[in-house]
Amino acid sequence: MLAVLSRHVLSTSILRRSTTSTRQLSSSAQAYALSKFTMPAMSPTMTEGGIANWKKKEGDSFAVGDVLVEIETDKATMDVEAQDDGIIAKIIIGDGSKAVPVGKAIAIFAEEGDEVNGSEVEKLVSEGEATAEAPKETSAESKSSSKPESVKETSKPAPSSSSTGTPKSFRQSPPRSAIFASPAAKRIALEKGIPLGSIKGTGPKGRILESDLAAYLKAGGAPSASSASTSGTPYEDLPVSNMRRTIANRLGASKRDVPHYYLTSEIQMDRVNRLRALFNKAAEERAASSKAGGLKAPTKLSVNDFVIKASALACADVPEVNSSWQEDFVRQNHHVDISVAVATPTGLITPIVTNVGSRGLGSISAEIKALATKAKDNRLTPQEYQGGTFTVSNLGMFGSVSQFTAIINTPQSCILAVGGAEKKLTIDEDPANLKGFKEVEVMKVTLSCDHRVVDGAVGARWLKAFKGYMENPLSFML
């Protein structure tokens, strides 16, 4: 009867699998149109998701294009739109629910104008719960195979991992009825460090709204160091989002299974800085004329734009780095797609700039800015963050990090960690300089390599190529 279409582009096969309706035949014509709406697969690899927020409530009618629900995946929150008209007869799984398997019924829909039969609705609901119960128990048992009795202790508050040293609090999902908050409220709470558990929501069914946070702060409820001691609790257990759980699982597996090693090099940044200043000055002049003519202003270049371009060219020169370990073989990619680490209120995500080697700096810069904005608004499509052949993580832009090492973003083989630029004195071989030294600006970069794919000599060749491009940026501008 009904199908849904994500605002983000999904393949037809995925859409059909995620929204297949099961009609309950009955002697009643009104009950014939009832159908289950199941948790959709928002990407080919998605196995479970969360329900961030139902945009419609029970009994509401909807039309084509209406947003029905916000689905939280491991990387983003996505809107699901109606492709047909109908009515929400029953919401089975409510706001804030986590780890809902793909294909599990989350609501019952009816057709517009039908008289909804309550008993038929409940029958469909009970059928959906019965079919999902067995997998749920199997999952719980598999997660707690080392400590079977932990499943029975869900009524007890989970202790913090720092105080007990056990993974129990990490593996157990928080109670679904604990905290309901709008996506905007969650984002503000994360940014400002506000404990949502201490706020009483004024929205539907006690949902915490953005206005509730504003009222909390206005009343002097900003978190303080003494808040824990005054409440009598020395810690606070925060729910783990799907994104945070995915980050923990993926990076934990990478650090555990991938033999990392690290190579560090210093890059002289004076030529990049001068060239970037010239480009941005020209961009400002063009921006003034563009504004007067009603045209879009040109994009200013950042140091990271040069880093991403130089990384792609170095990957082309040393293709072993642009490869991945596949157990029985090593896959060497013919194209260079750079994953760029972006910090968001809900966690780290790596949107991808494709075919970087064949693109100009202006195009790279514009796409990175657009992707970063979408990432921070939780609006990236799976196609924009899944894949990539090499990753760049830049913490130097924060001004307080001079050097660091990064964990490889598997199945990629390498990641480049970029620190901040610093001034230092170096020997000047120019005989005209009587002092014999000069001040230069240098930036430290560290390449993390998977030793299964990239040997030390190969990593060193890549860094030499990267250093050559960064210290002679005109070589890829001509």
231 Cβ neighbours under 8 A, 6+ residues apart = none
Specify whether 451 is catalytic.
yes
> How many whole angstroms separate alpha carbon 347 and alpha carbon 247?
8
- Judged by DSSP in three states, 416 sits in strand
Nearest to 367 by CA among 396, 337, 344, 387: 337
Contact 352, 388 (CB under 8 A): yes
415 Cβ neighbours under 8 A, 6+ residues apart = 390, 391, 392, 393, 406, 407, 408, 409, 447, 448
Beta bridge partners of 324: 331, 412
Give rounded-to-5 percent helix, strand, coil for the chain.
Answer: 40, 20, 40
Nearest to 71 by CA among 5, 14, 135, 23: 5
Measured at the CA of 371, the angle between CA 465 and CA 186, to 5 degrees, comes to 130
Torsion of CA 91, 92, 94, 97, to 10 degrees: -150
Classify residue 36 by burial, with Cβ atoms within 10 Å: 0-12, 13-18, 19+.
buried
> How many whole angstroms separate alpha carbon 458 and alpha carbon 439?
31
> How many whole angstroms separate alpha carbon 120 and alpha carbon 386?
41
Which candidate in 84, 114, 317, 451 is catalytic? 451
Specify whether 79 is catalytic.
no
What is the residue-wise DSSP string for 229-254?
HHHT-S--PPPPPHHHHHHHHHHHHH
Beta bridge partners of 178: none
> How many whole angstroms separate alpha carbon 429 and alpha carbon 443?
21
Contact 350, 385 (CB under 8 A): yes
b/e sequence 279-315, b meaning 16+ C-beta within 10 Å: bbeebeeebeeeeeeeeeebbbbbbbbbbbbbbbbbb
* H/E element, 54: strand 48-54
Active site residues: 451, 455
